[in-house]
Amino acid sequence: MSDRAGASPAWSPFKTGGIVLMRFRLLGAGLLAAGISALNGMPAALAQNDSPYAGGDAARGKQIFASNGCGWCHEDQGRKAGRGPQLMNTKRSDDFMANRIATGAPGRMPAFGQGLDDQGLRDLIAFIHAIRPDAG
Ligand code: HEC
């Protein structure tokens, strides 16, 4: 909590708010994830894996990404490196990413675990996997 990142106003307001909303979209999550996988040209069945972080809602993850200020460091919605690395086309495992998001990296990335439950992490990871190059 004495982490210097905690002092930044860019994302701290969302540690207390915003997460409640996530409870409301559980029902649609599976369908959405399946749809997004199809859009990516990957059969939904293949998109399922053994990761406990599979099955998130990418659309929801996009909102969480925005509301937590992730894009301040993972620029252009994670498409390119900035203060943090590019997330698009990541080779990291879901477990690695979930851990990094939850616990941060001392002095480099704040820990978001306090404001996110497992479903929030799943949604963020689904979003990261769904990032595609900007059309423009
Ligand atoms: C203050 C800048 C900053 C913010 C805000 C931030 N990150 Fe990061 N992030 C980083 C840095 C720097 C790293 C690399 C850490 C390292 O490996 O030392 C990183 C690493 C990651 C990784 C692992 C990627 C890899 O290839 O190692 C993921 C996934 C990630 N961040 C997601 C997020 C998400 C999701 C959010 C918002 C909830 C977020 N980050 C907010 C700076 C930030």
Which tens digits make up the pLDDT trace of 122-133?
Answer: 999 999 999 999
Ligand 1 midpoint to CA 100 (Å): 7
Q: Is residue 85 in contact with ligand 1, taking CB distance under 6 Å? A: yes
The residues, ordered by sequence, that sit 6+ positions from 99 with a Cβ below 8 Å of its Cβ are none
Query: How does the average pLDDT of the chain come out, rounded?
Result: 78
The answer to whether residue 136 sits within a structural domain is no
Is the pLDDT confidence value at 32 over 50? no
Q: Is the pTM of this model over 0.85?
A: no
The answer to whether residue 100 sits within a structural domain is yes
Task: Check: CB of residue 124 under 8 Å from CB of residue 101.
Answer: yes
CATH code for the domain of 24: 1.10.760.10
- For residue 34, how far is the Cα from the chain centroid? 17
Ligand 1 midpoint to CA 109 (Å): 5
Q: Is residue 70 in contact with ligand 1, taking CB distance under 6 Å? A: yes
The answer to whether residue 123 sits within a structural domain is yes
For residue 26, give its domain range.
17-130
The answer to whether residue 47 sits within a structural domain is yes
Domain count, the chain: 1
- Which atom of ligand 1 lies closest to the CA of 97? 29
Which tens digits make up the pLDDT trace of 74-93?
Answer: 999 999 999 999 999 999 99
Give the pLDDT score at 18. Answer: 44
Nearest to 55 by CA among 82, 37, 72: 37
Ligand 1 midpoint to CA 70 (Å): 7
Task: Check: CB of residue 86 under 8 Å from CB of residue 74.
Answer: yes
Tokens 């306090």 correspond to: 114
